[in-house]
Structure 1
């Protein structure tokens, strides 16, 4: 069927964080919310229909995960990512962040070091620091509007720190890189040399634009599979973050059993009745919706980049290879981090994520969520352009 991503869906009066809480969180009024990473689009119709049928039963008791759910996930990974897995490799978590916490607590001890690559998703910092581990940072290298891995620094940091765990973000949030096979293989070789376990957050795996292709880290080789935990979910792909439906793929039996014990001990192993229904339907019948959604978002990204180049050259957006997040280099505005935040809220009247929240390397940047109606994006960009013109004057 043909989906209408320009359809207006009234999210006011509900309990969604993105729209209902934007003014309160940012301390503004009448803000256009392009911050928290969920979409403004209705999900695939088969998912909506499946949830309606399940809801109409009227009983929402304890729920198990049927074989059909495992089969849907395995089919999706093979169909979309050419990754054939055994269903026994699949573990469960209410979300990727609880899974990261389980990995930190299972595969490291208090005082151990864990490596990340900023600017990166803010919870990466928290799951390390809040659980008594030491943070090691190997920043991405930014040149000519594109981020690269500094492999020399990465290898030096692992060698010097003896980091037990490396948390990878692929596709990368917020910079939008989709790491190539050769880049991933170099990371894997360095980690193997130092005995480092890889936890790969691949929650945006399905949101990749041609000709780029997502490569699951554990699919690189048998050696990579023996040292890797891959975190996945339908939440970003199908706009169902509120259902808390992550799954974790761990090919190695010993790592898998240790992870599962941590999840069970934390009482995080139960199923959400609607998550089971929605995930199974999405992975079985969601291809058509996703293909159309990706085309729409890519067009939004192209529009935003073109608009900013013409009207606000002080702001230079990255060209994301994946995700629906646009990383904006706002340093041309000449504003400090706090000034930039206030400018966007008070003068432009848009709610964006502060770049500095992704690490010091994000100072002077902002993250924009483009998974919205074109009309919403156009209005937000007009507001930014108008605020910049007023500042120029």
Structure 2
């Protein structure tokens, strides 16, 4: 089967499709003509082979309750083994309508009201929301931006926060969104050992696992030690990799039978059972037939990152790129502009007419930064950077 959707330069008009990124600016307090690069979906068509599978499913015409068969698990498991050297078992799998839903279920399953849950800010803001909205105590082991321009983990503080706050659950973001770190096996081991020592369950959000650049390599947390496997929940999804977020399909792996049973009980309590038919179809097709599209998309995203790096260096040296190791979300340091949050928002939103994600929403330690999505045509990125240049230089 031939892959047809390999023109990532194609600018596709997403307006008037009920698109969260493009159609809801005014409703969310932004100018109608703002250029959005905030929410983490792509502006690329997914694999044509995924579209073929969806088209065939649509033409059948019946969309009743749908469950996955063995070939679905085979597709998922083969992808995990080929790309992440992880042999998963069928019994470990629980399917959910998204990773954030899974995080919320995990918070309910492995903690009770008032318990402390650890995260590492600046981090994907729904981490904080599922903790606070479920009446748990948010504790942060803040990441530290080193002189080398990379974020690092303060392991002494990591353990101190756990001990001082009686933390029972750790939400790990790996690779990390938004600071783009791909944690090394050594870093993951240190955190995992501390969690084992203090009886802290680990929920690892690995939704960006397929986006790793250069010599960096993603290590599935559960593969490091048997103790980690039995003390963790691993959250995966084709949503980022194949631009399928709107189809709401995630694959959650829990090797420990006790942890798995408690998690599934919370999913049942939420009233959720089968995933939507189109999500199941898309996931199976993507992992079975999407390799060519995936590899081409990765090369394009890497070239976009190189374009941003070069542009900032030559045209906007006031803005510093935190060198990305993974994800398609870049973390930009605006602190040299010496602006308040309000002043910078006015500059970006009202003057440059851009919609980015302000670093402050990822935690106080993110103030002065902005997150930008570069999984879009080069022309879109150039326009965004040109708009910034026009109001800064």
TM-score by length of 2: 0.97
Once residues 29 and 173 of structure 2 are traced to their aligned partners in structure 1, the CA distance between those partners, rounded to angstroms, is 26
Distance 2:328 2:273 in 1: 30
Please tell me whether residue 65 in structure 1 is matched to residue 68 in structure 2. yes
Q: Which residues of structure 1 form unaligned runs of 5+?
A: none
Secondary structure class of the residue paired with 1:248: strand
In structure 1, the residue matched to 2:80 is 77
Name the counterpart of 2:164. Answer: 160
Distance 1:316 1:307 in 2: 11
Q: Is the 8 A contact 1:23 1:30 kept in 2?
A: no
SS of corresponding position for 1:30: coil
How many residues were matched structurally? Answer: 389
Q: Deviation at 1:23? A: 4.2
| Match among 31, 41, 44 for residue 41 of structure 1 | 44
| DSSP 3-state at the match of 1:36 | coil
Q: Which residue of 2 aligns with 1:307?
A: 311
Which residue of 327, 339, 342 corresponds with 2:343?
Answer: 339
* Residue 95 in structure 1 maps to residue 98 in structure 2: yes
What is the rounded CA distance, in whole Å, between the counterparts of 2:214 and 2:253 in structure 1? 25
Deviation track 1:352-388 (CA, whole Å, cap 9, x = no partner) reads 0010000000101000000000001001100101110
- Look up the SS of the partner of 2:167 in the other structure: coil
The Cα of 1:256 is off from its aligned counterpart by 0.7
Measure how far apart 1:257 and its partner are.
Answer: 1.0
Q: What is the aligned partner in structure 1 of residue 129 from structure 2?
A: 126
Partner of residue 254, structure 1: 258
TM-score after normalising by structure 1: 0.97
The CA distance in 1 between the partners of 2:252 and 2:27, in whole Å, is 34
2:377 corresponds in structure 1 to: 373
Matches of 2:65 and 2:242, distance apart in 1? 24
What RMSD in Å do the two structures reach over aligned CA positions? 1.0
Q: Provide the residue aligned with 2:187 in structure 1.
A: 183
8 A contact 1:18–1:35 mirrored in 2: yes
Worse-matched range after superposition: 274-283 or 332-341: 332-341
Q: Does residue 29 of structure 1 match 2:32?
A: yes
Worse-matched range after superposition: 350-359 or 153-162: 153-162
The aligned residue for residue 327 of structure 2 is 323
Cα distance in 2, alignment partners of residues 339 and 293 from structure 1: 36
Q: Which residue of 1 aligns with 2:368?
A: 364
Cα shift readout 1:26-62 (whole Å, capped 9, x = no counterpart): 4213111101000000001110000001001111111
- Which runs of no fewer than 5 residues in structure 2 stay unpaired? none
For 1:13 and 1:121, the matched residues in 2 are separated by: 27
The answer as to 2:244 corresponding to 1:240 is yes
Q: Following superposition, which runs of at least 4 residues in structure 1 exceed 6 angstroms of deviation?
A: none
Name whichever of 136-145 and 169-178 sits farther off.
136-145
Match of 2:275 in 1: 271
CA drift of 1:22 comes to 2.8
- Using the alignment, how far apart are the partners of 2:216 and 2:374 within structure 1? 19
Query: 2-side partners of 1:180 and 1:23: how far apart?
Result: 41
SS at match of 1:164: strand
